[in-house]
Amino acid sequence: MESLDLRVLQDALAWHSTGHAVTLVTVVQTWGSAPRPPGALLAVRDDGVVSGSVSGGCVEDDLIARTKASFGSCEAGRHPLLRPGMIAYGISQEEAARFGLPCGGTLRLVQEPLLDPSWIIQLLSRTASHQLVERTLTLATGAVELSSATRGQAMHFDGSTLRTVFGPQWRLLLIGAGQLSKAVAQMAQMLDFEVLVCDPREEYAATLDAGNHGIVYLKGMPDDVVRELVPDAHTAIVALTHDPKLDDMALLEALQSSAFYVGALGSRRNQSLRKQRLAQHFNLSEQALARLHGPVGLALGAKTPAEIAVSIVAEIVQVKNSAASATTSAASVQAGCARV
């Protein structure tokens, strides 16, 4: 599956190639209960067709009306915007209510004409090879530059320059291929995870059909793969083989890494036995063992592979968002102390 923002850029590129004029709109700041976060992207075609979103719908309606009106009053073949500009919605309670922004929410948007789509072609090519790419837009000139990014970089806007990051910010390594792995992988990719799968058993790896699903297949023994991957705070690792010879060694490496989530498939009894093995034979500490999520996934009463996949991905997202929230809160406290 593809990132929603990359899908917007693909649509914008396709429209431009068929002769349509296209305007891109990016959320750069929000206040209150804004429906879409900073970085959310929308493409508006000259005839009002849209891809993506920046709100719950009412703002899009106004943007479509503005775009069609501006193109209607413009000479054929010309884009009414010559360079990027700012648009704000919801400054007053009345306007917030009009545009469906709850709790007096406010949106600030950057609107830019798509005049030269070459940067989109480059960006899509680089993200297709699993690169993280930072796009820098200079509002005064409309110039766009692309550079390499690292996981954890956030969108930044200082009023004159907009920096956004495209590509998979998060990684998920699945130990074991098969029906459940494929279901987990597809759901994780919808959430913008880069999905990696390791399974030394060729008969299982063949069923994954990785090349048709955008999954990266890593050869080798799972513990070697985990060690070489160097898991960071944006990496999740889930063991799904049910084979202690494969799962245990991979978990041993994962639990001593910086991965934000480590999980393993199996019953409570199997998880208890696994922890005993890891403690007795590999001297893994209680603190490291406490990081293991097992049985993996939220308790949804899941039975089918698809339901189990939902529970696994849901728990990964829950832990990811909790960690991100804690980091944000800590940063706010630090900033407050610095001002004292």
Give pLDDT, residue 110: 95
Q: Does residue 335 fall inside a structural domain?
A: no
Cα(133)–Cα(168) distance, rounded to whole angstroms?
9
Q: Is the pTM of this model over 0.75?
A: no
Q: Does residue 331 fall inside a structural domain?
A: no
CATH number where 234 lies: 3.40.50.720
Residue 32 CB neighbours (<10 A) = 13
Q: Which of 131, 166, 201 is the last residue of a domain?
A: 166
- What domain range includes position 269? 170-320
Q: Do 135 and 221 belong together in one domain?
A: no
Provide the number of structural domains found in the chain.
Answer: 2
Interacting residues of 205 by C-beta distance below 8 A, sequence separation 6+? 177, 197, 199, 217
Q: Do 12 and 161 belong together in one domain?
A: yes
E strands in the chain:
22-31, 41-45, 50-52, 85-89, 106-113, 133-138, 144-148, 156-157, 161-166, 170-175, 193-198, 216-218, 235-239, 261-264, 292-293
Mind listing the pLDDT tens digit of every residue in the chain (340 residues)?
357 888 999 999 999 999 999 999 999 988 765 567 888 899 999 999 999 988 766 788 888 888 888 876 665 556 777 789 998 887 555 665 666 555 556 788 999 999 999 999 999 999 887 788 999 999 999 999 999 998 888 899 999 999 999 988 799 999 999 889 999 999 998 888 989 999 998 777 777 664 556 788 888 999 999 999 999 999 999 999 988 889 999 999 999 999 999 999 999 999 999 999 999 888 888 999 999 999 999 999 999 999 999 999 999 999 998 876 654 444 444 434 444 4
Cα(89)–Cα(30) distance, rounded to whole angstroms?
10
Q: Do 152 and 119 belong together in one domain?
A: yes
Q: Do 244 and 312 belong together in one domain?
A: yes
117 three-class SS: coil
Q: Do 137 and 189 belong together in one domain?
A: no
Residue 138 CB neighbours (<10 A) = 14
Give the residue among 217, 257, 241, 239 at the shortest CA–CA distance from 293. Answer: 239
Q: Which of 136, 166, 196 is the last residue of a domain?
A: 166
